[in-house]
Amino acid sequence: MVWMTLAAAILAEVLGTTAMKYSEGFTRLWPSLGTAAGYAVAFFLLAQTLKSLSVGTAYAVWSGAGTAAIAAIGMVFLGESANAAKLIGIALVIAGVVVLNWGGAH
């Protein structure tokens, strides 16, 4: 169950960050509110996972998966460039999370 909560925290963070892109520097109301709501939910759910997971594991998965997802969303849906360096970077982020989990996930 804790991993489902962490997955929901990641989803909320990704939605909040995507809304931030559309907030135009917090000058548009609804995307700005979506950003605030997404991050509020993300931090609440992340805090719940910290009751069961180590902070290093939970944060590594949360931030790494969120970073990889946002980079992919930018390339696939928002017209950002996709090149070998970015794809290697995403792979390295994911690999880093995997290695951290090997070292201490319970």
DSSP per residue over 54-90, as a string? Answer: -HHHHHHHHHHHHHHHHHHHHHHHS-----HHHHHHH
CA 17 – CA 51 distance, rounded (Å): 25
What whole-number percentage of the chain has pLDDT above 90?
88
How confident is the model over 61-99, as pLDDT tens digits?
999 999 999 999 999 999 999 999 999 999 999 999 888
Instruction: Name the pLDDT band for 105 (thresholds 50, 70, 90).
Output: low
Tell which residue, 21, 42, 23, has the closest CA to residue 33.
23
CA 6 – CA 29 distance, rounded (Å): 28
